[in-house]
Amino acid sequence: MTAATASAAPAAQRTTAEWQAADAAHHLHPFTDFKALAGRGTRVITRGDGIYLWDSEGQRILDAMSGLWCVNVGYGQRALIDAATRQLETLPFYNSFFQTTTPPAIQLAERLAEVAPPSFQHVFFSSSGSEGNDTIVRMVRRYWDIQGQPNRQVIISRLNAYHGSTMAGASLGGMSGMHAQGGLPIPGISHIEQPFWFQLGQGMDREDFGRRAAAWLEARIVQLGADKVAAFIGEPVQGAGGVIVPPASYWPEIRRICDKYGILLVSDEVICGFGRTGRWFGCETMGVTPDLMTFAKGVTSGYVPLGGVMVGERVARALIDEGGEFQHGYTYSGHPVACAVALANLELIRGEGLVERVREDTGPYLARLFDELSAHPLVGEVQTCGLMGAIQLVRDKASSTVFDPEQSVGMLCRAHCFENGLIMRAVGDRMIVAPPLVITRAQLDEMAGLIRLCLDKTLAELG
Ligand code: PLP
C-alpha cells in the first residue's frame, strides 16, 4: 500500500508496518536521529487508560513517565474530555488581545491565583513551557527597564537544566548538545554548575554541598557584576537533567543570595507544578517563594497544550502600574478550550486530593520501594521527590564508579523496559520515573517489580 492510499484508511485498519512506513516517509520526530529511527521503526501508541498505554501491536505498557511528565491525572478522564467538548461547541477560539477575553481564561487565571502561593495573583498564558520561558526572558528584562536599570540583562541558569526548545528556552537550558546546534545560547545567559551531589559532591555532607552549590550563584553574580544580573532561573528538581533532587539547604540559600543582590528568582515549575512533588508547586516543597513561576504540562495533564507564567506581586505591580503596553503575546494565550480543560483538570486534582495523596501516601511509598531497589548491584544511588524518582546505574557499587558513557547502559536498560511493558526514561545512566499522580500503591508495586526485572536483565546482558 502506498502512503497515499494508506492515509485514507481508518486508523484501526493499518498494520504496524504501514504506520512505520508512513511515519518514516513524512514525520520528523523531536530530539531524534531521523535516519536511525527510520531503520528501527517507531512504536505507535494507540490508546490510553489510567496509567496504561496500548501500542498498535496491542501490547499494554505501564507509563511510568506520564507521557512526557504531564499526564498527571492519567489517561481517559471523562471530566476533561467533556470540558473540551463543551467548550469546542460553545466557543472553540477567541483571543485575549485588544481588550477581549473569554470566561474560561478568566476563571483559570482566578483559579491559578487560588492554588499558587499568595504572592501570585496574576498569570500570563502561553501554549507551552518553552513559550512560557520566552515570556520569562521578555518579562524579566522589561521589569528592569521599568526600574530604570536596563543593564540588568543577564539571566543565570544551570548546566544540565532543561527549560525548553525555543531559542530562549534552549539558551536558558544547560544542555550542551542543544547549544552545539545553531549558535546557542543567545547573549545574556550565563550557566553555573548544578546541585548534583552524586556527580559533584561525593565525600561531602549533602547539606554542606547544597550551600556550596548555592555559593556558585553568588560567585557568578559577583563576577558578572550585580548591576548586570536580572534573574536566576531553576527547576525545583531538575527533571530532564536526571531528576536531580537538591539538598534541602540549596533553595533557601539561593533565595537569600537573590535577595542580597536584588535579583529576581524564577522557578520553572513545568514538571514540578500541579502536585508532582507533593505540593501544588515544587518551590513550596523546597521551602522558597520565587518572584515568577513558569508552568505547562500538568496544568492540563497534557490533554491539550497550555503553559504560562505566574507573576508575583513585585513584577506584576511594576508591569501593571508603570509598564504601559507589554508588547508580547501569543495567538493562543488563554485559549478557551485549553483553559476549560485546565479548569476541569485542577478540579479533579483538588477533588481527588491528589496533591495530598502524593505528599502523604504514594510519594513516601515510592521512596520506600526505591530504597529497596537501592540494594541492587547495578544501583549506585536512588533519589525521589514526591512522585518523581531516579535510579543511578553504576559499574561498581562500592566505589560509586559509573559506566563508560560509550556503553550506553541506560539505553540498554530502557530497551528492556520497553520490551517488558514499562516506559521509563534514561538520562545517561540515570533511570527516571514520574508516573501519573493517580497511581495506586498496588500499581507502584507493579512498577517496582518491572524495574527490578529490567535491572536484572540489564545486569545479565552486561555479563
Ligand atoms: N521547562 C521544563 C522544566 C521542562 O521540563 C520542559 C519540557 O520538558 C520545558 C520547560 C519546555 O516545555 P515544552 O516542551 O512544553 O515547551
- At 218-244, the pLDDT tens digits run 999 999 999 999 999 999 999 999 999
Q: How far apart are CA 294 and CA 116, in angstroms?
A: 12
Q: How far apart are CA 178 and CA 170, in angstroms?
A: 7
Report the Cα 230 to chain-centroid distance in Å.
23
- At 134-181, the pLDDT tens digits run 999 999 999 999 999 999 999 999 999 999 999 999 999 999 999 999
- At 261-316, the pLDDT tens digits run 999 999 999 999 999 999 999 999 999 999 999 999 999 999 999 999 999 999 99
What is each CA distance from 265 to 55, 66, 359, in whole angstroms? 42, 28, 25
Q: Are 339 and 299 in contact (CB under 8 A)?
A: no
* Preceding omega of 185 cis (within 30 degrees of 0): yes
Q: How far apart are CA 263 and CA 256, in angstroms?
A: 10
Dihedral of alpha carbons 156, 161, 167, 169, sign: negative
C-alpha of residue 306 to centroid of ligand 1, in Å: 11
Q: Would you say residue 2 has pLDDT above 60?
A: no
**14-45 b/e (C-beta count within 10 Å ≥ 16 → b):** bebebbbbbbbeeeeeeeeeeeebbeeebbbe
**Predicted pLDDT of residue 6:** 47
C-alpha of residue 142 to centroid of ligand 1, in Å: 23
Residue 102, all three cell numbers? 473569554
Dihedral of alpha carbons 169, 171, 176, 179, sign: positive
Cell 537569600 belongs to 256
What average pLDDT does this structure show over 356-377? 98
Identity at 272, one-letter amino acid code: C
Q: How far apart are CA 164 and CA 133, in angstroms?
A: 7
C-alpha of residue 240 to centroid of ligand 1, in Å: 9
Q: Are 218 and 258 in contact (CB under 8 A)?
A: no
**Predicted pLDDT of residue 183:** 92
- At 58-104, the pLDDT tens digits run 999 999 999 999 999 999 999 999 999 999 999 999 999 999 999 99
Q: How far apart are CA 32 and CA 335, in angstroms?
A: 29
**Predicted pLDDT of residue 13:** 84
Ligand 1, residues at Cβ distance < 6 Å? 68, 128-130, 133, 162-164, 169, 235, 239-240, 268, 270-271, 296, 307
Query: How does DSSP classify residue 54?
Result: E
Q: Are 188 and 231 in contact (CB under 8 A)?
A: no
Q: Would you say residue 336 has pLDDT above 70?
A: yes
Q: How far apart are CA 280 and CA 61, in angstroms?
A: 28
Q: Are 84 and 307 in contact (CB under 8 A)?
A: no
C-alpha of residue 239 to centroid of ligand 1, in Å: 9
Nearest atom in ligand 1 to 128's CA: 15
Q: Where does the pLDDT of residue 182 fall: very low under 50, low under 70, confident under 90, or very high at 90 and above?
A: confident
> What ipTM did this prediction achieve?
0.99
Residue 31, all three cell numbers? 530530539
Taking Cα atoms as reference points, which of 86, 88, 97, 70 lies closest to residue 333? 97
Nearest atom in ligand 1 to 131's CA: 16
- At 415-434, the pLDDT tens digits run 999 999 999 999 999 999 99
Taking Cα atoms as reference points, which of 142, 136, 125 lies closest to residue 171? 136
